[in-house]
Amino acid sequence: MEKNDVEHIVEDNHERYAEDYYGEDNFNSYRNKIGALVLIKSGTNKSIQDKPFIEKKYFYISSNFFASSLCELPYVHEMGFKDFINQHNFDFKPYHKFGIQEIDERTELVAKIADYIWNRDRIIEIE
């Protein structure tokens, strides 16, 4: 089984984003929200370290579906992905930057996905 690591989409560099957040605690709080995290291959996580989102998002393409959805390519080349989005009305979209608004959007998306996966009526249907 391949080992994965939790990857912070926003690098640990408060100074770079100081004007966007209300202090370092606010920055760290947002950076650790579920919508600001992805699972990626362990080796990939070590190689991208604390690069800015715009540079490291392309490393996500070779990772899982959720991580790669931050980039443009799955929306162009993965017809099954487009069908999945449309069928379930999930708000997936690629990002060119990743700040407070994007973290909030992604957190909401994670909540919708979790609700779909653990929806009691859907689970009963599967049984």
Q: How far apart are CA 60 and CA 71, in angstroms?
A: 8
Between 12-21, 43-52, 107-116, the lowest mean confidence (pLDDT) is in: 43-52
**pLDDT tier at 20 (50, 70, 90 boundaries)?**
very high
Cα→Cα distances 10→87, 114, 117, 125, Å: 30, 22, 26, 38
Model confidence over 86-115: pLDDT tens digits? 888 899 999 999 999 999 999 999 999 999
Count of the separate structural domains present in the chain: 1
- Domain hosting 68: range is 4-126
Calculate mean pLDDT across residues 1-10: 87
Model confidence over 53-91: pLDDT tens digits? 999 888 888 888 899 999 998 888 888 888 888 888 899
Inform me whether the pLDDT recorded for 119 exceeds 90. no
Q: How far apart are CA 59 and CA 89, in angstroms?
A: 26
- Select the more confidently predicted residue: 6 or 81: 6
Quote the pTM value: 0.87
Between 9-18, 20-29, 80-89, 92-101, the lowest mean confidence (pLDDT) is in: 80-89
